């Protein structure tokens, strides 16, 4: 139980990559706050079921509703976790959205939504969690970026810019808090099988697959393994890095 006694907050953990991360951390003995946002009906049920699975396996978890775009909701979420478990050792900035379109057709709303969720959300969650980490002179901040933030992508100017922002944010946080024994790293997945990608047309999926050396799409669990490593003591000397997990994408 590598993460026994640790407390984590995973944003957007009701499904997809966040859910896989929550289950993996819990399996290593970590207490997990499973964040979700009740924008769509059913999301509360999803996060409740993640909590139930963790509890069924003997772990500790709580579901917490908070829209990560909203400062007051994030502040209150962090206070609730610290109120119950006393601290937050591991923050996983996972929640994210896409609103794809070619730049000339991209609405200001689609631009603002994506930046607010993916970049402002990571800023707010990190800011409010950091105080607890600084107090205990240890912590792990792991933010889910994307290879789109490293290499760019057609139809994703908003998303790629938000993820490039997350990468630069991570590198800067790593510099600011390294002296407090807190690490900050970004994980940049390629194409992972989740609700976010399931709706893409087959033609696009075929094109993406032809660029992946391993000739398969990733599973949420592939990403969760890397996050668990970065959260562990074994990764204590890694900070300010962007680690791609994309099956070997070449363009």
Stretch that binds ligand NAP, among 12-20, 126-134, 203-211, 232-240 (CB under 6 A): 12-20
- The residue among 9 and 177 lying less far from ligand NAP, judged by its C-beta, is 9
- The residue among 12 and 59 lying less far from ligand NAP, judged by its C-beta, is 12
DSSP 217: P
What is the helix (H) or strand (E) element at residue 189, kind and residue range? strand 182-189
CA distance 212 to 219: 14
| Binding residues with ligand NAP: total (CB under 6 A) | 32
Q: Write down the H helix ranges in the chain.
A: 16-27, 43-56, 71-85, 108-114, 121-136, 148-151, 157-177, 195-198, 202-210, 220-231
Nearest residue to 226 via CA among 1, 16, 17, 75: 17
Residues 231 and 90: beta-carbon distance below 8 Å: yes
Stretch that binds ligand NAP, among 95-103, 106-114, 133-141, 200-208 (CB under 6 A): 95-103
- The residue among 10 and 130 lying less far from ligand NAP, judged by its C-beta, is 10
Q: Which of residues 157-186 bind ligand NAP (CB under 6 A)?
A: none
128 binds ligand NAP (CB under 6 A): no
- The residue among 70 and 181 lying less far from ligand NAP, judged by its C-beta, is 70
- Out of 28, 97, 106, 115, name the contact with ligand NAP by CB under 6 A: 97
CA distance 169 to 7: 23
Q: 């059913």: which residue's tokens?
A: 42
Contact pattern from residue 204 through residue 233 relative to ligand NAP, giving x for each residue in contact according to CB under 6 A and a dash for the rest? ------------------------------
Our CA dihedral for 61, 67, 69, 72, rounded to 10 degrees, sits at: -90
Query: In the numeric block, which tokens belong to residue 124?
Result: 């707010």
- Out of 196, 211, 212, 238, name the contact with ligand NAP by CB under 6 A: 196
- Out of 6, 24, 69, 140, name the contact with ligand NAP by CB under 6 A: 69
- Out of 17, 54, 114, 184, name the contact with ligand NAP by CB under 6 A: 17
CB of residue 65 to ligand NAP, shortest distance in Å: 8
- Out of 59, 96, 139, 247, name the contact with ligand NAP by CB under 6 A: 96
CA distance 66 to 154: 31
Query: In the numeric block, which tokens belong to residue 158?
Result: 């908003």
CA distance 121 to 99: 16
Stretch that binds ligand NAP, among 16-24, 130-138, 167-175, 232-240 (CB under 6 A): 16-24
CA distance 108 to 146: 22
Is residue 159 annotated as a catalytic residue, yes or no?
yes
Q: 């990764």: which residue's tokens?
A: 235
Residues that bind ligand NAP (CB under 6 A): 11-12, 14-18, 35-37, 39-40, 43, 46, 67-69, 94-97, 117, 121, 144, 146, 189, 191-192, 194-197
| Catalytic residue set | 159
């Amino acid at each position: 139980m590598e993460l026994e006694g640790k407390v984590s907050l995973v944003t957007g953990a009701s499904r997809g990559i966040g859910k896989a991360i929550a289950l993996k951390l819990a399996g290593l003995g970590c207490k997990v706050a499973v964040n979700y946002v009740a924008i769509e009906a059913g999301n509360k049920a999803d996060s409740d079921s993640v909590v139930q699975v963790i509890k069924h396996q003997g772990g500790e978890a709580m579901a917490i509703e908070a829209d990560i775009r909203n400062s007051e909701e994030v502040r209150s979420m962090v206070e609730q976790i610290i109120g119950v478990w006393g601290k937050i050792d591991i923050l996983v900035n996972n929640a994210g959205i896409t609103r794809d379109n070619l730049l000339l057709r991209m609405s200001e709303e689609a631009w603002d939504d994506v930046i607010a969720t993916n970049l402002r959300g990571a800023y707010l969650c990190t800011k409010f969690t950091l105080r607890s980490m600084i107090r205990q002179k240890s912590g792990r901040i792991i933010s889910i970026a994307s290879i789109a933030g490293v290499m760019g992508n057609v139809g994703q100017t908003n998303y790629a810019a938000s993820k490039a922002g997350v990468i630069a944010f991570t590198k800067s946080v790593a510099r600011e808090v390294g002296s407090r024994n807190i690490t900050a790293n970004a994980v940049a997945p390629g194409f992972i099988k989740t609700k976010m990608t399931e709706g893409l047309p087959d033609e696009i999926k075929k094109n993406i697959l032809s660029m992946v050396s391993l000739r398969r799409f990733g599973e949420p669990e592939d990403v969760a393994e890397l996050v668990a490593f970065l959260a562990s003591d074994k990764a204590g000397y890694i900070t300010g890095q962007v680690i791609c997990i994309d099956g070997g994408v070449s363009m």
